[in-house]
Structure 1
Amino acid sequence: MLRRIRAASIATLCAFGSATAAAAGGLIEEIGLQGRIPGTPEPLALRVRVTNPGTTSQAVELVADVGSGRSQARATEQSSSVDRVSVEVSLGPRESRLVDVPIFSGSGDTVEVAVLDRSGRVLERDSRELVQRSGAVMALLCAEEAVCQAAESRISFGGSEEDRVAKRRGLAFEFVRQPADRWWGWNPAHAVVVAAPLASLAAEQREALELYARHGGVLVLVEELVRDREFLSPYRATPTASPQALGLGRLYRAASVSGADFDAAFTGASLESLLQPRIRSEMNEPGWARKRLATSLDFPSLGWLMGCLVVYIVVVGPLNFWALRRLGHVEWAWVTVPIIAVAVGVVLYGASAARRPAELLVDQVAVEWMDDASPIAAIDLGVRLVSPARATATVPLPEFTVLMSHSLLPKDMFSLRQPDGGRRMILSRVPAIEAPVRQ
């Protein structure tokens, strides 16, 4: 009998172990561009491998927490903000998938990833602290490694002696193995050199290169290797030696990696620009526009409050006691003072409540960065919600929107805060954000 019980217990443990092993899990594969991250907060690609070892389909939630140099647990204990991005992932039997998630982060942050089942149970957790490696990143996308080596050599040794010294000290090179599918996958690079046939890239990878430049990057096309007349055709009608504005960024075109037009992108003033720390001065533009175009909230001024306080002191003090002395009942002050205080409080509350909005207001200001050669634009979107009471609001956003942390941006930028000070970002096929709205 005892042996049967032991056998049953062992069978139960084995069954439990099998069930646990069959649970889906995830692991951080890469953050940034092949591990390269910027020193200042920027949109980055977080690549996570999610695996379902089971024989049945499974839906999980991938949650990424980004904190400023501390783990999620410690941040929660210290009431510090943690930005949270969550993505729902449906996996087939024994399927392993790479999931790219946009995060807004930089050197010194800690990224924690957890895979949750439908009940919210943590199936697997992984974390990584972001550390910047020195050097402005030059990303080289080539069909062959020999071409990348030739481009690296030409960039490193081209230009004057001062240029070469500055490059040795300030540039770092990355041979890109897998082109990014979204523009924020290229974002850690100060410049991207394309020396491979664009026909070999998928449509979303070609679009990612264009949008990277439109968001402020530098794109260098080697014409003899690109072999694609359609890509950015409105910008390629001029001679190759002249750089062109492409949204917020710049486009350089070179006939080959051995020509002077290729050197122009990495010498002189162009080199100085590449070596400078990237500071997105345009990030405050939605806030600047909203101050002038969006709903204006009328709050009581300090002068109005001080005036009300002076009136209250005069009424509850000298005027109140003068009237009671005339009536011959100074002892009634025990009753009149509280009545006056309550009356003034009601008046102040009513005056303040009359100025508050009567319904949920959503201000959405978009600043589009574009040029005269194309109708495509990079968009900075500022959203502000104003609610007369506590509520939960869902804000639809364009697909693949990258949300910027309120604590890292200029004042009056996009902010959806939870009561604990953090943000929760829920991404789906068409991303939406759901967060409590504070009064």
Structure 2
Amino acid sequence: MSLSSKAIRSRSRKAAISGIALLAGGALALSGCSAGGGTTETEEPTSGGGAPIEDLTLKVGTALPVTGNLAFLGPPEIAGVNYAASQINEADLGITVEVVEGDSGDLDNKAYETEIPRVLGEDVSAIIGAASSGVSLQFIDQVTSAGVIQFSPANTSADFSTYDDNGLYWRTAPSDILQGEVLGNLIAEDGHETLGMIVLNDSYGTGLAGFTQEAFEAAGGEVVAMETYNTGDTNFDAQISAVLAADPDAIALITFEEVVTILPGLVDSFPAENLYFVDGNLKNFSEQLDPGMLEGAKGTLPGLTIDDIASFTDELQAFQADNGGEELEDFSYAAESYDAVILLALAAMQARSVEGADIAAELQAVSGGVDEEGEQCSTFADCAQIIVDGGTPNYDGVSGPISFDENGDPTRASIGIYQYGPDNNYAAYEG
């Protein structure tokens, strides 16, 4: 099965998404990323109709999950950030990126309480993160009130679409309005009439659960149980028992890393092929669970499928190996992290400034915006050269076209549908 369409958000924060993007196979394919280009010694880079571009140094911090219940997302996101910085620096087109790494942690260990002040103290223009919507909400005011951009590659809570952020919050991941609609419809299309859910009790979990329920019930289904838990909980027997007692046809697990503890007690009494995962827990479980334990289970993940960004993931693995990094087991939000840094650098070049507010003022323009203006390009080097030559780029990233609305939300997105095999790893769903 391979379905795709654009999901368009209007300029209004309160407008609903008007379409659904399902991407199960290779419906969309974007080029991989490469660096190149430069200026000759006799030509001074210019922008804005010929005004010289002074060399810029852009300091970008990260608040990504090194620890906590989303730590499995940290390696691909951090790798994406560092890979983008390396390509920007190699291009030598008037801007250098320095990365200051930090740990967001989670709502339990609260690493962000010390890490965000430390990273802000390094005079960064932007902070990439957090991955968790609930964690981002803990420090968004601290970051944006300092005049620093907060740019998340993975926040999907709908709360951010209406948040008062002074124009300084941006994200390359789409709102869960879209993922919930795709997931709810997928479960219904698979023939299930009743649904149970185990849900993380935070803005991400309850928000995504609500949108999933809305879509599933609109398709004629009924949610018969929705059991929640809190970050830091370690025993889920009560939630499992309550959901199983409702005798649902399918169960959606809207969780983070806690799913590893939930699954053994669940699959003993419920068929894996009727389980549904989401971006917060869709990962490679081959080293954690017995072979075949998840075979047939499905899940959704914002972004183009791994198959469609294979050239990028190959390059990212090579970058890791060349720089002493560990081999990546998952690639969730790696492309979105990469694109975030590219967009920040392009916006800084367009603004000829590394001040947070100045960069934010150009982010929509360099993404193409809702009207798809500017000259289309798909690598940093090509886009930066457009700025050097006095134009405005329209960056189509590894994660998709992006095209921000004026509120920092991508106006176009895809949702990948995946299925687990006997090795407890997931691949693009081909059914």
Instruction: Answer 1 or 2: which has greater strand percent.
Output: 1
Higher RCO (C-alpha 8 Å, min separation 6): 2
TM-score (norm: length of structure 2): 0.23
Give the structure with higher Rg (CA). 1
TM-score (norm: length of structure 1): 0.23
